[in-house]
Structure 1
Amino acid sequence: MAAPLKLKRQSSPKVVRQDLSVAQELPIAAVLVDTPVSHLEGVYDYLVPESLHASATIGTKAIVEFGNTTTEGLIVARKKSSDKQKNMKTITRLNSPSGLVSLSVIKHIEAVRDRFGGGIWNIIKSAIPARVIKEESFQRSSASSINFPEYDSPRLRELVGRADYDQIRNSKKIKWALSFPIGIKPELFLTEFIKVRAQINQVLLIVPDEKDLTNYLAQLSKYFGDEVIELGSHLSKNLRYRNYLKAAFQSKRVIIASRSGAFTELESNSTVIVLSDLDESHYEQHAPGWNTRDVCLLRDSSTSIVFASVSHSLEIARLVEIGWLESKIYENKSAIKIVSANDNHSSILTIKKGLDQGNVLVSVSEKGYANLFLCTKCRNTANCECGGKLQIAAQPRIPSCYLCQKIYKNWQCIYCGDSRPFVIARGIDRTAEEIGRALPKKSILVSSGNKQLRNLPKGNHVVIATAGSEPNETFAAVVMLDGEKIFNRPSLRAEEMAKFSWFNLLSKAKPSSEVFLSLPNHHPAVQAILRGQSRHGVSEDLINREKAKLPPFYRIAVVIGEKLEISKFSENLKNSYSFEVTGPTSINGMQSKLLIRATLQQGSMLVDLLDDITKIQGVKGRKIFNIRFDPFDL
């Protein structure tokens, strides 16, 4: 576990006005100041005016003078004296309700900062929404003072078994990697789980995106009413701050949140549930780039934690392998029929059968029409004069360059002169066109990108969707196309994400539906689905990752900066440290990138080293490296 954050302590040099009376009791406040430059970040001592004494408690935001500017700070301690009694400034005013950030949340934020590096105020700003003063009229209350009628779920007991059901109902701490049973909608299973678990104390559910948040809020509000609230960046500024205050001071029984809600204050013996930790939305886009999974693992030790998913990340799989998490895989009797690409069975046949019973879902890998095509005659790639590849974005079939956007209305192959494109990378629109030809007069709907379908109109439809754009429905048949493409993408998590996507699609199939897989039976993903076990093959995946020196066995820092600076830094690293260094690789004419790998034991050393480098760059007025630890992809 990372050592506690050690912040440099300094005293402000400018003399304060002496026209304010100073608090008689604990007159000094240690304030974590949001400084203009990262290398000055630290805790500075300020005098507390008598008028603010009662409210200036630990965890209260304050406005203070720093140098020639006024900035925000967070009070992290009150004390009798300071190491430097002279020339201390006085807190100007308070900028939040008293004790807005509890001591446990402060410690949690420090632990996250120690793991991912960077400025602690970057994390504070992610965790705590901007202030809206008019929303601060609230009543403090405790979750333990609210009495709920005892809730029993026979269906959940049947699915998980009596022993696990008793664990969910009692106050014993649990640390689970829970795999949803096939043939049961995940939101229905998890809603029942939360209803039972919330009888003990608070439950924090962290979901990937707004669509999931809306679904779970609708389900849980029916039972918990005003005792369930939502937190997320999708809310208006006022509502987001109002709900944050309710979570902080009223201890609502159930909190549904997106990524930033991972820092939410909870009472002792509460439960955190992370839904689909493999989803990229769980990764913070701004520096220092923390992720929900690691933030939740750094929470207070009294908190129960459950990672619930159709298929888990390899980080979670490793924690199961070493015994830190307990794997919970539940089976459900289902009549779902699985057919694969080598069963002499076409996807169109599955679609036809499904349409007789209801709606059919067809999953494809890409948007657009023809994302890559060749010349029909000579099979050479269609390229633009700028070097970029041509694609056909939509009907009418007019090729354009994906780099410079130049349009080729009368395209001809530069090698043989033929004008017939041969599509090798179909997009969703091309797939819809082909299915429409095979099934004339059938309703075909497309759900992708900014045009996602949440619910379906009456009747039987073929719904063609990209990953994550599927309507919130169950289907009489599910067709999973483009298997080779999604399992062989050039990215770190290609196979993990592909398996997650397919198991997620499987959860949308009705109990008696047919599911078509566009891969042969011997493929590991098909074998996992046939067994109904998303963990099938995970041990081998972990062995391969360890051999390749990749996460979850190594921590990786991606460092981007000016070419000359990166080149010098790379040489110093290779000569002075035992880290694995890949690069530099050129990004553009000005910048290069380094990949630095450290064993789990070396992780803290690498964080401290990169923090020191950025501080030196700040002091010397150089451009500071862009650093991200443990990114979603490389």
Structure 2
Amino acid sequence: MAQLRPLRLISQRANNNLEISPDSDIVVEVVVDTPVLHLDALYTYGLSQKQSEVCEVGNLLKIPFGKTITTGYVVEIRKRNSKDVGIRGVLSILSSSPLLQPEIWKLIKSVAVRYCTNPSDLIRFAIPPRVANCEKKAITVKPRQVLSAETNLLPKIYGADIAKLDAIKNGAIVLPIAVDSFALIIEFILRKLQDGPTLVILPDLKDTTRLEEQLQNYPGINFTRFDSSMNKSDRYTAFLEILQGAKNLVIGNRSAIFAPLPNLQNIIVYNESDPSHFERRSPYTNTRDLALLRASSEKVALWFLDSSPSLELLRLVESKWLPFYVPSGEFLRKRNIGITSGDAEYSRKNVFTVIRKGLEKGPVLIVVAERGYFNSAICEQCSNQALCACGGKLVLSKASNPPQCSICNVSYPEWKCTWCNSTKFYKFKKGDERHAEEFGKAFPKVRVITSNGSLSQERIGTESCIVIATPGCEPITPEGYGAVVLLDGRAMFNRPYLRSEEEARFRWLNALTLLRNDGEIFLSLADSHPEVQSLLQQTPLKSSRIELQNRKDLQLPPYTRFIEVQCDSKEISVIADQFRSETSLRCEVLGPTQIDKENSKIILKATIEDGARLSEAVYDLLRYRSAKGRKALKVRVDPFTI
């Protein structure tokens, strides 16, 4: 009997010929969704007769590209000419309506030049992934209502100058301490909505949620939230609502600056100096710069509301480009806020006095620099850093735990110094858990709450308690804190990067907006420190102006432009020499500086006037390396950490 063999299917190659021959005289210019940097040009495709009747600028297309099939957006429709020979046809029109608006495409091109990046990367940042089912839903446009502000906080705080608000197109407003910032923002939004559709950009999801909750108290405001916290369907639906003019107010985070709001009249940026406004992934953009570019391109009003303006914004103010509003002297003189400072990092007597006074009025907020227990340790005998075998620093996560490596998590229950063999080490750089332990012992009858990045408390009640929080994680309390204690001043203001003072100033002043108007403040800095003097003299920008002048004298940002280039240590010297030899760029090359075992970086420094030319040169280098198949460079323009 013949042995049966297993069935064998005949393999067939699928027909891959999806080309469509364009039979009309209409062609489209398309920006193609491709990560390949040197393929960033516009590509011409032909339309069939049927497609040409429905295609619009901004439509998402399915197109052949090389040997693959991808998508792209229409940025121009025109008639075929003699140069359009051998062009390929569009496979299909995917979106039922235009998604990429001409003004947004214009903004994307400007941002791509500014940040040395591929326009298609910015399009993915600006337009959420398409969900076809959402396009079938009917979107209704509600009638817009003009609401008036009920609180009148702005005239009370800023005096007669605020009457000019409606007549001035651009400006910056400094938010005072011990005043609910969001009450001011709501009032400002209500004023600006009378002019027309408004876009509000906030630093993070916590702030967006807080504003969303307060806006729900005003049913007449037709607004939508637009940020990365939304699921795919909800986000795309919100995008379509914005696109079709169904909303007159949009709130969101960084990517919301590209929201295609029709007839946009106002852009409002809240706390533009917050580090969260810096995009930490490619294309490494910054909300402030994008808002400035969009406001200039679309001729709309631009306003910044800040607890502590960045030095970049302050430079615009000092150059008279941007009008500035600070709280009036009359308002500041009427307040009764006690301010105490201490040179020691932790002056127990002064701190405890402030805390006791605060607890009589409500909860007390203590802001510390670090989370954890102890975040650094040195040998008690020879003072060398306590290190792991891998080179990582040893930290203590809890009092009962042995030292642990911050990189590989290896524990050392029987630690011994690698230099002198001592088994005793000195612990410093206290974290929030260690502070909570110490304040819990000092105030045994008072509840102690911690709030940090891993376990953040959104809100607390009005009962007296001690809240220990890391910067940016301060809970909200309805009536404000009876006292705000700002610890670790020396650690925060002396971190080893250029913006350390600027960031610390913002963190502290932003925390002080949560204070009651009769609360107490403790600053862990010397009385002579510019920040302490600025608060004592009620001149909120004094310390910022001192730092700005120092930057100007040293020719550092914001008076110059920095472009950081990272790559293999083997190549960095060659790239540095290329820029040094290019005399037409007029740039200074700083470095190379070693980052780790394999990578190094250089910083290209140029004046503001020469910055655009330098960005073009860096982008040309990126495109050249992409075309040659070389390893991509990591480029950051005006990075937050320098």
Q: Which residue of 2 aligns with 1:495?
A: 501
Q: 1:429 to 1:150 in 2, by over 3 A?
A: closer
Who is 2:269 aligned against?
A: 274
Which residue number in structure 2 is paired with residue 134 of structure 1? 133
Give the Cα separation in 2 of the matches to 1:298 and 1:56: 29
Asked if 2 retains the 8 angstrom alpha-carbon contact of 1:16 and 1:89, the reply is: no
Q: Aligned equivalents of 1:226 and 1:358: distance in 2? A: 33
Residue 598 (structure 2) pairs with residue 590 (structure 1):
yes
Partner of 1:370: 374
How far did 1:589 drift?
3.1
CA offsets per residue over residues 24-76 of structure 1, 9 Å max, x none? 6xx11111122352112211111122222243111112111111111111111
Deviations 1:383-405 (A, max 9, x none): 33444332212231411222343
Alignment correspondent of 1:182: 177
CA offsets per residue over residues 295-318 of structure 1, 9 Å max, x none?
Answer: 000113521111111001100000
For residue 581 of structure 2, give the secondary structure of its aligned residue in structure 1: helix
In structure 2, C-alpha distance between the alignment counterparts of 1:563 and 1:129, rounded to whole Å: 37
Equivalent residue number for residue 35 of structure 1 = 34
Distance 1:380 1:460 in 2: 42
Letter in 1 for 2:340: V
Amino acid corresponding to residue 245 of structure 1 in structure 2: L
SS, match of residue 218 in structure 2? helix
Letter in 1 for 2:226: L
Aligned with residue 253 of structure 2, among 258, 262, 266: 258
8 A Cα contact 2:99 2:127, kept in partner: no
Please give the alpha-carbon distance, in whole angstroms, between the structure 1 residues aligned to 2:287 and 2:389.
Answer: 44
Q: Does the Cα contact within 8 Å between 1:33 and 1:74 map onto a contact in 2? A: yes
| Aligned residue in 2 for 1:463 | 467
CA distance in 1 between counterparts of 2:192 and 2:468 reads 37
Is the CA contact 1:560–1:566 (under 8 Å) kept in the aligned structure 2?
A: yes
**SS across alignment from 1:597:** strand
The answer to whether structure 1 residue 288 and structure 2 residue 296 are counterparts is no
State the identity %. Answer: 33
- CA offsets per residue over residues 487-528 of structure 1, 9 Å max, x none? 000011100011111111211111111111111211001111
Instruction: Give the superposed CA RMSD.
Output: 2.4
The yes-or-no answer on 1:538 pairing with 2:533 is no
Q: Take 2:21 and 2:58, find their aligned partners in 1: how far apart are those partners?
A: 26
Distance in 2 of aligned mates of 1:405 and 1:56: 57
Partner residue in 2 for 1:435: 439
TM-score calculated relative to the size of structure 2: 0.91
> Against the structure 1 CA distance between its residues 154 and 623, is the aligned structure 2 distance closer, same or farther, given a 3 Å change threshold?
closer
Change (3 A) 1:565 1:378: closer
For the residues of structure 2 that align with 1:298 and 1:426, how far apart are their CA atoms?
A: 42
Q: Secondary structure at the match of 2:88?
A: coil
- Superposition deviation, residue 185 in structure 1: 0.8
Specify the SS of the correspondent of 1:44. strand
Q: Is 1:479 the equivalent of 2:485?
A: yes
2:153 equivalent in structure 1:
155
In structure 1, distance between residues paired with 2:325 and 2:398: 45
Q: Does the 8 Å contact 1:60/1:74 carry over to 2?
A: yes
419 and 70 in structure 1: CA distance in 2 versus 1, 3 angstrom threshold: same
* SS of equivalent residue, structure 1 residue 136: helix
Tell me the number of residue pairs that the alignment of Structure 1 and Structure 2 aligns: 614
Give the alignment partner of residue 556 of structure 1, picking from 558, 562, 568. Answer: 562
In the alignment, residue 161 of structure 1 is paired with which amino acid?
G
Displacement of 1:378: 5.7
Aligned to 2:610: 602
Q: Which residue of 2 aligns with 1:91?
A: 90
**1:208 counterpart = 2:206:** no
Please give the secondary structure, in 1, of the residue aligned with 2:217.
helix
1:108 and 1:273 map into 2 onto residues whose CA distance is: 17
Correspondence for 1:525 among 519, 531, 552: 531
1:620 aligns to what? Answer: 628
Paired with 1:235 and 1:420, the residues of 2 have a C-alpha distance of: 50
Q: Note closer, same or farther for the CA distance 1:63–1:82 as it changes in structure 2 (3 Å cut).
A: farther
Give me the whole-angstrom Cα distance separating, in 2, the residues matched to 1:567 and 1:55.
54
Amino acid in structure 1 at the alignment position of 2:155: R
Q: 1:512 aligns with which of 481, 497, 518?
A: 518
Q: Which amino acid letter does the alignment assign opposite residue 266 of structure 2? A: T
Does the 8 A contact of 2:215 with 2:221 survive in 1?
A: no
User: Per the alignment, in what secondary structure is the counterpart of residue 519 of structure 1?
Assistant: coil
How far apart, in 2, do the equivalents of 1:44 and 1:381 lie? Answer: 58
Q: CA deviation at 1:95?
A: 2.5
Structure 1: unaligned runs, 5 residues or longer: 1-13
Which letter does structure 2 place at the counterpart of 1:131? Answer: R
2:456 is paired with a residue of what secondary structure? coil
Give the drift of 1:225: 5.2
Partner of 2:8 in structure 1? none
Give the drift of 1:356: 2.4
Mean CA deviation greater in 434-443 or 536-545? 536-545
Please give the per-residue CA displacement for 1:582-621, whole angstroms capped at 9, x wherever unaligned. 1222223332211111111111111111111112112211
Contact 1:447 1:470 in 2 (8 A): yes
Deviations 1:113-157 (A, max 9, x none): 1211210001111011000111113557778x6233555543333
Match of 1:401 among 389, 399, 405: 405
Separation in 2, partners of 1:117, 1:466:
34
TM-score (norm 1): 0.92
Q: Distance in 2 between matches of 1:479 and 1:264?
A: 39
Report the CA distance shift for 1:190/1:592 in structure 2 as closer, same or farther (over 3 A): same
Deviations 1:269-304 (A, max 9, x none): 611111111112111223221111000001135211
Letter in 2 for 1:613: L
- Verify the 8 A CA contact 2:174 2:325 in the aligned structure 1: yes
2:588 to 568, 580, 585: 580
Work out the CA distance in 2 between the residues paired with 1:77 and 1:421: 68
CA contact (8 A) 1:173 1:303 kept: no
Structure 1 stretch 63-72 or stretch 462-471: which is displaced more? 63-72
| Matched letter for residue 450 of structure 1 | S
Distance (Å, rounded) in 2 between the aligned partners of 1:385 and 1:44: 54
Equivalent residues of 1:183, 1:334 under 8 A apart: no
Using the TM superposition, give the Cα deviation of residue 224 of structure 1 relative to its aligned residue in structure 2, in angstroms: 4.1
Contact 1:314 1:542 (8 Å CA) reproduced: yes
Pair 1:386–1:18, CA change in 2 (3 A)? closer
Judged with a 3 Å threshold, the aligned counterparts in structure 2 of structure 1 residues 47 and 380 are, in CA distance, closer, same or farther, namely closer
Contact 1:348–1:435 (Cα < 8 Å) also in 2: no
Match of residue 350, structure 1, among 351, 354, 378: 354
**Match of 1:217, SS?**
helix
CA distance in 2, matches of 1:36, 1:376: 53
Change (3 A) 1:508 1:18: closer
Aligned pair 1:245/2:240, yes or no?
yes
Which residue is equivalent to 2:11?
none
Q: Distance in 2 between matches of 1:186 and 1:257?
A: 17
497-506 or 345-354, larger mean C-alpha shift: 345-354
* Range with greater deviation from structure 2 (425-434 or 583-592): 583-592
Shifted more, 371-380 versus 455-464: the winner is: 371-380
**Structure 1 residues 115, 342: CA separation in 2 closer, same or farther (over 3 Å shift)?**
closer
DSSP 3-state at the match of 1:422: strand
